Amino acid sequence: MAGGILQIDLDAVARNWRALDRMSDPCVQTGAVVKADAYGLGAARVARTLAHAGARRFFVAIAEEGAALRAALGEGPEISVFSGHMEGDMALIRDSALTPMLNSPEQIARHLESLPDHPFGIQLDTGMNRLGIEAPDWASVCSRVLENGPILVMSHLACADEPDHPMNAAQLAQFRAMTDGAGVPRSLSATGGILLGPEYHFDVTRPGIGLYGALPFAEAEPVVRLSLPVVQVRDLAPGETVGYGCSFTAEGPARIATVSGGYADGLLRALSGRATLFAGDRPCPIAGRVSMDLITVDVTHLSEAPATLDILCPAQGVDRLADAAGTIGYEILTSLGPRYARRHAGGAA
């Protein structure tokens, strides 16, 4: 078996959720964002674990994810859909009891016409210019919408991972201006916003990345370990080269381990010659280019070639690997491919 093994510590996910939950007042509800298959870690297992830990509100990006999540969670928890009510979503929203976060006057009309008694929320744009109803449109539809009893009014911060960015206060002020006095539960903050402090918390928070052990939640517990089996080991004479483009040359006698895993598995080609794998706590640098299915690693300094090398482990978390690839932890996690055997430990079945 040559596939990599992705270990996912569900108890750590639950502890991260509780830690984020403790950062807001007890009357603030802490939700959980499990879009993109819980950032690549398995939405069904993660969501059942968090429901067991006390989460009652889950968020996904599209209705199809919501339907799969409803099948995993059963009746009860609220499942909200950020993309709102798209054409063709009516049956999914109705049959899976999803709550669309309506993003435009057009979506509001579609929802109230096709499912007049079905719960919905509203997403407002407070400056990010990505999703949500803009202030002038909100002013004209607000009273009609509020008569229909939205269960949540939300917006999203563009720069919450930069606490000093003036956009945070600007969006907070805009959110207040658009929602003060509406008498509807409100939500503004994802992981970054929770860390900005109580004025950003409102009634419901929506952490994603912090649950999965990455920045901006610096105190998060690591959740994943990724171990790649060594398929072959070879000794090189000085001057021999390794891999596509011959980008690594052995300066002296060298030993190269070839591990199973490559850019088709989310180990980005940008890691070529830059990232490190680990034999326990001993760093072993990548030698040459990451290819589709394989990575070549310099293990010259090890007394024995190991059976596996880790690319995500306590010595190298998601954010450190992201740095090496010039990206963010979110992209590392959501790129983790389908070829890994996902082994969930702890949590709820």
Nearer to ligand PLP, 81 or 250 (CB): 81
Nearer to ligand PLP, 217 or 263 (CB): 217
Q: Three-class SS of residue 57?
A: strand
Question: What is the number of the residue whose Cβ is closest to ligand PLP?
Answer: 208
Look at phi and psi of residue 341 and say left if phi exceeds 0, alpha if psi is from -120 to 50, else beta.
beta
Cβ neighbours for 157, distance < 8 A, ≥ 6 positions apart: 128, 167, 168, 171, 188, 189, 190, 192, 193, 196, 200
Q: Which of 35, 200, 212, 330 is catalytic?
A: 35
Q: Does 168 bind ligand PLP (CB under 6 A)?
A: no
The answer to whether the Cα torsion of 141, 143, 147, 149 is positive or negative is: positive
Query: What's the CA gap between 227 and 211, in Å, rounded?
Result: 21
To ligand PLP, the closest distance from the beta carbon of 197 in angstroms equals 16
Nearer to ligand PLP, 14 or 277 (CB): 14
Instruction: Examine residue 100 and say whether the peptide bond preceding it is cis (omega within 30 degrees of 0).
Output: no
Q: Which of 77, 121, 208, 347 binds ligand PLP (CB under 6 A)?
A: 208
Nearer to ligand PLP, 7 or 83 (CB): 83
Q: Which tokens hold the place of 20?
A: 């984020």
Nearer to ligand PLP, 40 or 288 (CB): 40
Q: Does 121 bind ligand PLP (CB under 6 A)?
A: no
To ligand PLP, the closest distance from the beta carbon of 332 in angstroms equals 13
Residue ranges in 75-94 that form contacts with ligand PLP under rule CB under 6 A: 82
Is residue 244 part of the annotated active site? The answer reads yes
Q: Which of 85, 156, 201, 255 binds ligand PLP (CB under 6 A)?
A: 156
Query: What's the CA gap between 258 and 231, in Å, rounded?
Result: 6
Q: Does 209 bind ligand PLP (CB under 6 A)?
A: yes
Is residue 35 part of the annotated active site? The answer reads yes
H/E stretch holding 64 reads helix 63-73
Mind giving me the DSSP string for 26-49? TTSEE-EE-HHHHHHT-HHHHHHH
Q: Active-site residue numbers?
A: 35, 244
Name the site residues for ligand PLP (rule: CB under 6 A). Answer: 33, 35, 82, 156, 190-192, 206-210
